[in-house]
Amino acid sequence: MDEWKARSAPGIEVIEALAQAAVAALPPQFAGPAGAVAIRVEDFPPDEFMEELDLNDPFELSGLYEGIPLTEKSVMDQPTRPDTVWLFRRPILDEWCERGEVSLGDLVAHVTVHEFAHHFGWSDEEIAAIDRWWE
């Protein structure tokens, strides 16, 4: 039991590295444009996200895309901040523990790809072609 005393849950930097690896593994036509999207990892969603989405439990939200999807962007849009994929460490770790059979890397990749799907305006079929999560 003493060996567990020195262990800690994967930190924000681990989740961010896994997310960056998932972006790098995207097909080239998506990986390049995905590089223009910021990735932010926080322990929990900020209160304003919880309020906007009418959520009460922060463990309900493992990721969020904040921005204008490429399919809706116009040259007339004046962005106030960069498009951002948010990942929330504690809800991701909670889901990872609950699932048991999924690696942390696979789960972070799934959440990351799902949020980038919002950025790219992908259909469910396009998501499935890149993210084999559902197989």
Cβ–Cβ contacts within 10 Å for residue 47, how many?
Answer: 9
Per-domain residue ranges for the chain? 14-68+82-134
**Alpha-carbon gap, residue 4 to 74, rounded angstroms:** 52
26 closest CA partner among 97, 110, 107: 110
**Tens of pLDDT along 23-81?**
999 888 888 888 889 999 999 999 999 999 999 999 999 999 998 877 777 666 666 67
What is the dotted CATH code of the domain comprising 14-68+82-134? 3.30.2010.20
Q: Which two tokens stand for residue 92?
A: 């991701």
Contact between residue 23 and residue 112 where contact means Cβ atoms under 8 Å apart: yes
**Tens of pLDDT along 65-120?**
998 877 777 666 666 678 999 999 999 999 999 988 899 999 999 999 989 988 88
List Cα–Cα distances, 32 to 13, 28, 103, in angstroms: 22, 6, 26
**Alpha-carbon gap, residue 17 to 39, rounded angstroms:** 10
List Cα–Cα distances, 113 to 12, 26, 61, 81, 95, in angstroms: 18, 8, 15, 21, 16
Q: Which two tokens stand for residue 123?
A: 């259909």
Q: Which two tokens stand for residue 48?
A: 């304003």
Q: What pTM was computed for the model? A: 0.86
